[in-house]
Amino acid sequence: MHAAPAFPHLSGYYVISLRPAGAHSGLRREAARLGARTFALSPWRIVHRDDAGTRDALRRALAADVVIFTSPPAVASAALLQPLAARDTQSWLAVGAGTATALERAGIVGVRAPARMDSEGVLALPELANLKGRSVGLVTAPGGRGVIAQSLTDAGADLRRADVYARVPTPPSPSRIARLLAVPAPWLLPLSSGEALQRTLDALPPDAVARLREARVLAASARLADLARDTGFAHIEQATDARPASLLAAALPERTAS
């Protein structure tokens, strides 16, 4: 027997998860707590990099005046390559609360994360206010978060980028697409990555794209809400941040009725 949901406010909904392969558990748990079911539609899987060039780039990034991690997978991949340790003179920043928690678990004390958990939020932190003559290490992956790297360079920082993992595309199989089309409405589409959304739309056939666009998007930021609107979605709610509980809270009746 399955336990009854703690708060069945989203009973009858399906949550379409665009998280990486193997990373759906947090969203799935929160959906189940609210009475919803989850359909995993991963656009990619995470692959840790382990080569001399990556190790050298990571060493340089971690020696910078300011170190920024963009995601929990960045923390996990970096920790596999070398122990993480902060100097007293450094500032360590995380794009969101999940990344900050991952760094703290890896032994870093005093990690700073913005209240607005996106690229714009981390760039607004006071540690990045004056970067002339300062070095900034960016621990991330190819693609995504391009706003951070460009903004840091434009601000005059000595940018030291370390791409410690890769996103390997995992296009859905025809059988997976057929299963998606068989999932009953209504759908919720938590959106925390513009790249994940675009890859998903590019990988699906027109009938599946049309069906996905009927979903109610739960966007983690104003930028992502605008992206969803620009790519043809009509029903969009903006969440406070990218955490599973925050994303799904945007769909709750008491939230949307206000």
pLDDT at 258 over 60: no
For the domain spanning 8-43+170-256, the CATH number is: 3.40.50.10090
Please, what is the average pLDDT of the chain? 93
Q: What are 207-253's pLDDT values in tens digits?
A: 999 999 999 999 988 889 999 999 999 999 999 888 899 999 999 97
pLDDT at 144: 62
218 and 193 Cβ atoms separated by less than 8 Å: no
Q: What are 173-203's pLDDT values in tens digits?
A: 999 999 999 999 999 999 999 999 999 999 9
pLDDT at 17 over 50: yes
**Residue ranges of domains in the chain:** 8-43+170-256, 47-167
* Residue type present at position 223: R
Distance between CA atoms of residues 31 and 10, nearest Å = 8
Distance between CA atoms of residues 119 and 193, nearest Å = 11
Tell me what the mean pLDDT of segment 144-170 comes to. 91
pLDDT at 8: 83
What's this model's pTM, rounded to 2 decimal places?
0.85
pLDDT at 72 over 70: yes
For the domain spanning 47-167, the CATH number is: 3.40.50.10090
- Picking from 149, 142, 215, 205, the residue whose alpha carbon sits closest to that of residue 176 is 205
pLDDT at 143: 76
Q: What are 89-134's pLDDT values in tens digits?
A: 999 999 988 899 999 999 999 999 988 777 888 999 999 999 998 9
pLDDT at 3 over 80: no
Percent with pLDDT over 90 in the chain: 83
Q: How many residues does the chain have?
A: 258
| Strand boundaries in the chain, DSSP class E | 14-17, 37-40, 44-48, 66-69, 91-94, 135-140, 158-163, 165-169, 187-191, 216-219, 235-238
Residue with tokens 């999940």, as numbered in its chain: 98
3-state secondary structure of 14: strand
Residues 142-151: b if buried by 16+ CB within 10 A, e if exposed: eebbeebbeb
Task: Tell me if 8-43+170-256 shares its fold with 47-167.
Answer: yes
